[in-house]
Structure 1
């Protein structure tokens, strides 16, 4: 699976280009890399009529059936009010259901449907292929190191 032409154009770093004076900034490099990944991810997820955030939400719900909307918002690090639209989208497509929590009927447990599990599995497979293609320029050791560095950065930013 090859990157789109637009993603390839964005991937080409030319230090002599107009943005060459920004090349030394890690944050700028991360933003450019994220733009490449997101552009190709959007293309991959379009076949499932999912966006990155709805894919993430569905994947978490499939992996952790029964979690509450608050727990999902925390996992996605988004406001609960912003989550309602995502949950409505997934529920409207029959991918998840909201079930009242037994001990607190004001809260809802999010459960995947069989259709939701099947779609999540197919989308996750495609996303894994997407990641292999987008990060094919890195060795397995480099990918592992990138994971480690990003985890370390996120952990330190959370404190």
Structure 2
């Protein structure tokens, strides 16, 4: 008995379609995120930051005394992966890691003067990035997208 083999003929590049995937909102979200991430990566390069190190720096700046455990939770990262980021920020003199007097196993994270300055400059650049990437969205559309993202993030809970 002969097995039926489908002839595999790859389409030329101009004929590739993701139309079947476009019906899935998750696919569209991922594709949109790829555009945003790529542009943000380029935006943060002059500051020597990646998206994760930028996020950590801003969170530490806006939450003085934040513990590494709390930072890992809010960033939804495994603690060992976060340690690499915290080590890098500390090595660059952007944050300080101080042991808590009440719990010698826990570090309180704080930005340094240099960290605050770099964070503020990077946030200004990130605001320009977002304005550039989202320029075709009206303020109403941005508000709708923001609300939808919050609902998705919260698992549908208000």
Q: Could you state the TM-score of these two structures normalised by the residue count of structure 2?
A: 0.87
Which residue of structure 2 aligns with residue 147 of structure 1?
146
Which residue of structure 2 aligns with residue 49 of structure 1?
48
State which structure, 1 or 2, has the greater radius of gyration over its C-alpha atoms: 2
Which residue of structure 1 aligns with residue 27 of structure 2?
28
Which residue of structure 2 aligns with residue 67 of structure 1?
66
Q: What are structure 1's unaligned runs of at least 5 residues?
A: 1-15
Tell me the CA shift for residue 114 of structure 1: 0.1
Tell me the CA shift for residue 38 of structure 1: 0.3
Tell me the CA shift for residue 157 of structure 1: 6.4
Alignment coverage as a number of residue pairs: 143
Q: State how 1:1-159 maps to structure 2 within 5 Å.
A: 17-156=16-155
Which residue of structure 1 aligns with residue 12 of structure 2?
none
Tell me the CA shift for residue 17 of structure 1: 4.5
Tell me the CA shift for residue 102 of structure 1: 1.4
Return structure 1 stretches of 4+ with deviation > 6 angstroms: none
Q: Could you state the TM-score of these two structures normalised by the residue count of structure 1?
A: 0.87
Secondary structure in 1 matching 2:66: coil
For residues 117-137 of structure 1, give each alpha carbon's deviation from its aligned partner in whole angstroms, at most 9, with x where no partner exists.
Answer: 000000000001100110011
| Cα distance in 1 between the residues matched to 2:16 and 2:80 | 41
